[in-house]
Amino acid sequence: MTEAMGNWPGSIPGAAKAAAEQWPDVPALIVGARQWTFAELWADARRSASAMLASGIAHGDRVGIWAPNTREWILAALGAQAVGATIVPMNTRFKGGEAADILRRARVKLLFAPAGFLGQDYAALIAGEDLPDLVETVHIDRDFDAFVARGKGADDPAVDDAFAAVSPDDICDIIFTSGTTGRPKGALTAHCQATQIFGDWAVRVDLRPGDRYLIVNPFFHTFGYKAGWSACLVRGATIVPMATFDVAEMVRQIEQNRITFIPGPPTIYQSLLQELAGDRPRDFSSLRVAVTGAAPVPPVLVERMRSELGMSNIVNGYGMTECGCISMTRQGDDALTVSNTCGVPLPGLEVRCVGDDGQDVDTGKAGELWVRGYGVMRGYLDDPAATADAIDSDGWLHTGDIGTIDDRGYLKITDRKKDMFISGGFNVYPAEIEAILAKHPAIAQAAVIGVPDERMGEQGKAFILPRTGCEAPSEAEIAAWARQEMANYKVPRSFVIVDDLPRNAAGKVLKTELR
């Protein structure tokens, strides 16, 4: 079956405008007891855009959003993008130093961050950092209405002028992704790439007008932002955001708002099955589509989701920040296909499976997956060397993932060429963690690996070589220090103090032996 690429709006705010014109009275967003139609959401986005202009934000400026999934996150993003600015989504688990590094390198001019989330005032976390380009931080949970009031409202003609100057080839976002070097890199994506990929993605996964989409995945991640609320704008589905994952709240949302569409790792569906087996009656009859990925999905879970949760369409896929979504299974694929493969490439994307010699391997044989097409990022921010290392002269993005392609064209990820593991759906890069741990005054070197974990998929385990002349730190001390220095999902769940680390003749740590 050959799929054609769809015809989608040329920008993310353009999708919001088109949705307001096509489905003006359809609910676009539900938060608590309140609803906003697509027409109201676009008017609010225009008010935010007017406030951006009043605050000195212009075409090409960078606007950071360091906040949980909320209505204000969407309005800050649409308002910035509607005037030609680029958004820089940031992980809510970042500590001050991690956030400051991204703000500094992306030259963020305006930052939206909460005054109170996870027990933190985010502005206070970066208060002592050198951020020469940052003009202002707006508390998104407390002062967003006051920010919007700076502008001239939804009918501000200056918004029309600024919006008219936004090109499909303008960069819509810079999302930072770590790598084997340990230094996060900012992937540059254009508007037309985002709307094309996730418009076609929405067709593949059967996201329909009128669907109620419970977005559990964080907006700072491609899954929650582009395959989340942006896809809803493109397809006319209702956005129902969750700020944090909570099973009881998820159940309430499903039952109260008749949720039809849920993405996320397998743990989400396992939680729903447990609720269904509990003492209280549950009504999950509205559920239709599950989109999973980032962790293996056992065939028995796929079958139970169909038979017990009543989800007729369960799809699995593969993507990365550098190319959004690359492949998805198809509607109606059997449980083994959903469980054991990542599907076939989206229309307009080519995927090869390549050996160490740079030649395609035979069908079913393992090699590195390379992808080429309109969806490949425009490059890494201010890093031509890293860009050239990732994308070759023929336009192929070398993913670093080892996999196979079967005789049906279905992809399967079997290993990672890059030293990375996935914990709770988040990519975790040992080199980045090792670099942070090495800053501890009593640590000479750290080696981090991923180990299997039933709930999270994988968890970090760190082998610590103490610094000569220093008293060896305790595991509890290192863990407490690490929690202050890095996002929680990066903190290894166990630490082992060692006298030495296994090395090869060149002195490189042999992680295969540690595993």
Is residue 512 scored above 80 in pLDDT? no
What CA–CA distance (Å, rounded) separates 139 from 365? Answer: 52
Structure confidence at residue 467 (pLDDT): 81
Once rounded to an integer, what is the mean pLDDT over residues 197-208? 98
**Which amino acid is present at 462?**
A
CB 127 within 8 A of CB 111: no
The three-class DSSP label of residue 401 is strand
Structure confidence at residue 500 (pLDDT): 85
The three-class DSSP label of residue 503 is strand
Q: What is the 3-state secondary structure (H, E, C) of 8-22?
A: CCCCHHHHHHHHHHH
Is residue 415 scored above 70 in pLDDT? no
| CB count in 10 Å sphere of residue 358 | 10
Q: Phi/psi of residue 457, each to 5°?
A: 90, -60
Is residue 49 scored above 60 in pLDDT? yes
What CA–CA distance (Å, rounded) separates 161 from 269? Answer: 46
What CA–CA distance (Å, rounded) separates 426 from 429? Answer: 10
Once rounded to an integer, what is the mean pLDDT over residues 11-37? 98
Is residue 105 scored above 60 in pLDDT? yes
Is residue 505 scored above 60 in pLDDT? no
**Residue 182: band (very low, low, confident or very high) from pLDDT cuts 50, 70, 90:** low
Is residue 169 scored above 70 in pLDDT? yes
Which domains occur in the chain, in start order? 12-195 (3.40.50.12780), 422-514 (3.30.300.30)
Q: What is the dihedral of CA 93, 98, 99, 104, to 10 degrees?
A: -170
Tens digits of residue pLDDT in 347-399? 999 999 999 899 999 999 989 999 999 999 999 999 999 999 999 999 999 99
**What average pLDDT does the chain have?**
93
The radius of gyration of the chain from alpha carbons, rounded to an integer in Å, stands at 23
Q: Percent of the chain beyond pLDDT 90?
A: 77
Least confident range from 17-31, 77-91, 230-244, 473-487: namely 473-487
Beta strands 86-89 and 62-65, pairing class: parallel
Is residue 307 scored above 60 in pLDDT? yes
What CA–CA distance (Å, rounded) separates 494 from 484? Answer: 16
Tens digits of residue pLDDT in 249-278? 999 999 999 999 999 877 788 889 989 988
Q: What is the pTM of this model?
A: 0.85
- The residues near 351 (Cβ < 8 Å, ≥ 6 apart) are 326, 327, 345, 369, 370, 371, 405, 411
Structure confidence at residue 417 (pLDDT): 63
Least confident range from 69-83, 164-178, 298-312, 443-457: namely 443-457
Q: Scanning the structure block, which residue is given the tokens 């490189």?
A: 508
Give the long-range contacts of residues 440-444, CB within 8 A, separation 24 or more: 440/473, 440/478, 440/481, 441/467, 441/470, 442/466, 442/467, 442/470, 442/471, 442/472, 442/473, 443/467, 443/473, 443/478, 444/468
Question: Exposed (0-12), middle (13-18) or buried (19+): which is 180, by Cβ within 10 Å?
Answer: middle
Structure confidence at residue 245 (pLDDT): 85
Q: In the β-sheet with 457-466, what is the strand arrangement from edge to edge?
A: 443-453, 457-466, 494-497
Tens digits of residue pLDDT in 108-162? 999 999 999 988 899 999 999 999 999 999 999 999 999 999 999 999 999 999 9
Residue from 296, 266, 265, 293 nearest 414 by CA = 296
Once rounded to an integer, what is the mean pLDDT over residues 397-405? 93
- Please list, residue by residue across 190-217, b when 16 or more beta carbons sit within 10 angstroms of its beta carbon and e when fewer do: bbbbbbbbbbbbbbbbbbeeebbbbbbb
- The residues near 15 (Cβ < 8 Å, ≥ 6 apart) are 8, 9, 195, 230, 233, 234
What CA–CA distance (Å, rounded) separates 339 from 306? Answer: 13
The three-class DSSP label of residue 438 is coil
What CA–CA distance (Å, rounded) separates 250 from 268? Answer: 9
CB 48 within 8 A of CB 76: yes
Structure confidence at residue 189 (pLDDT): 98
Is residue 294 scored above 90 in pLDDT? no
**Would you put residue 147 in left (φ > 0), alpha (ψ -120 to 50) or beta?**
alpha
CB 178 within 8 A of CB 155: no
Residue from 319, 320, 338 nearest 329 by CA = 338
Is residue 27 scored above 90 in pLDDT? yes
- The residues near 62 (Cβ < 8 Å, ≥ 6 apart) are 85, 86, 87, 88, 106, 107, 108, 109, 133, 174
Structure confidence at residue 231 (pLDDT): 98
What CA–CA distance (Å, rounded) separates 506 from 38? Answer: 60
